[in-house]
Structure 1
């Protein structure tokens, strides 16, 4: 029986995430992470989409992407098939790399978009890998808050939410993401 197609239309924006089979690592080292980003970029050139944010954790990946002319099913079939073949070959494994197929949640409001961007970039802090999102090298956070160019992402939509005249959009976004931790600490202290 064929799988049910996901709801899609050109310009749809999604939180896409995928986890390693049996929650195992899908990235064993930086070489694996670089290869995933290479395949992600190559896929984007073949099946265009806009990537707004990403975070590569050891056993899962988060992407905030906007489709153009092809649905996420085609994008991730190509991307994850290529990566799984590479991963199994490099590590002399067989079988599934990813648990089930990827998950894609349609983001239908500007609020959902910016909150998800914050969630993605704060993920390494939540996992106690780093103290600050900018310390984690395998996410798009540092590229968004700095003038550093990241060939994988488009930061214009993310920064367009921050229009306060006193601070740059990059500084406002940085504050927005980092305030999430402060808000969580305050909530935990009053419990």
Structure 2
């Protein structure tokens, strides 16, 4: 039976995860991480995808993206995957695949979940026990949004701009939001949605999305035991 295509809808934010095969490391050093970010900047611009947030973990990456076109996101991810693996294998003297099949993607209702999703992404290194605060982790977009580093290629969403009238006000408001996010209901809902590959939003959002996509987008009732999500998978 053919796999159903991933749901990609222009103009909607998508929470994306790309994992290493069998949970293997996809970054062996900082040069790998820099190269992956270079490819993300380059390919996002080529394919018309706004990058709102990112985090590079040891064996997976999280992204928050809004594509301008139907095929922009999948083409961007395909290009990054192909180019990165080629360089990674050459650098480290290896062959074969690196990725765990296809990337995972879920659409989210911006007004309700976009800022929470940014916080979810920022908090990955904290949940994994790598750092005690998101600002201590150098390989995420958190530092940009709290004023510790400038990354001009990122595309802050309108909801972030609405957090304050000045850069300082927005940075302080966002830092406070992330600080209060752990354990909140939206964080649990985001984790569940991305692992089930289902869209996340209220009933009106889901209905509108299903009308646009002409297919079901909500999570199905589980027919088998749920997979336990570890801290390294989050």
Residue aligning to 1:176: 177
Question: What SS does structure 2 have at the residue aligned with 1:62?
Answer: strand
1:57 is the counterpart of 2:52: no
Moved more, 174-183 or 81-90: 174-183
Shift of 1:108: 2.4
Asked if the contact 2:43–2:76 (Cα under 8 Å) also holds between the matched residues in 1, the reply is yes
- Structure 1 stretches of at least 4 aligned residues deviating more than 3 Å after TM superposition: 181-184
Residue aligning to 1:41: 41
In the alignment, structure 1 segments of 5+ residues that lack a partner are: 185-191
* Aligned ranges 1:88-167 → 2 under 5 Å: 88-146=89-147, 148-163=149-164
Asked if the contact 1:159–1:170 (Cα under 8 Å) also holds between the matched residues in 2, the reply is no
In the alignment, structure 2 segments of 5+ residues that lack a partner are: 186-234
Distance 1:48 1:33 in 2: 22
Residue aligning to 2:68: 68
Asked if the contact 2:49–2:73 (Cα under 8 Å) also holds between the matched residues in 1, the reply is no
Moved more, 142-151 or 92-101: 142-151
- When normalised by structure 1's length, the TM-score is 0.87
Distance 2:143 2:38 in 1: 18
Taking a change above 3 Å as real, the CA distance of residues 2 and 35 of structure 1, as seen in their structure-2 partners, is farther
Distance 2:65 2:18 in 1: 14
Distance 2:149 2:139 in 1: 14
Residue aligning to 1:86: 87
Question: What SS does structure 1 have at the residue aligned with 2:123?
Answer: helix
Superposition RMSD on alpha carbons, in Å? Answer: 2.2
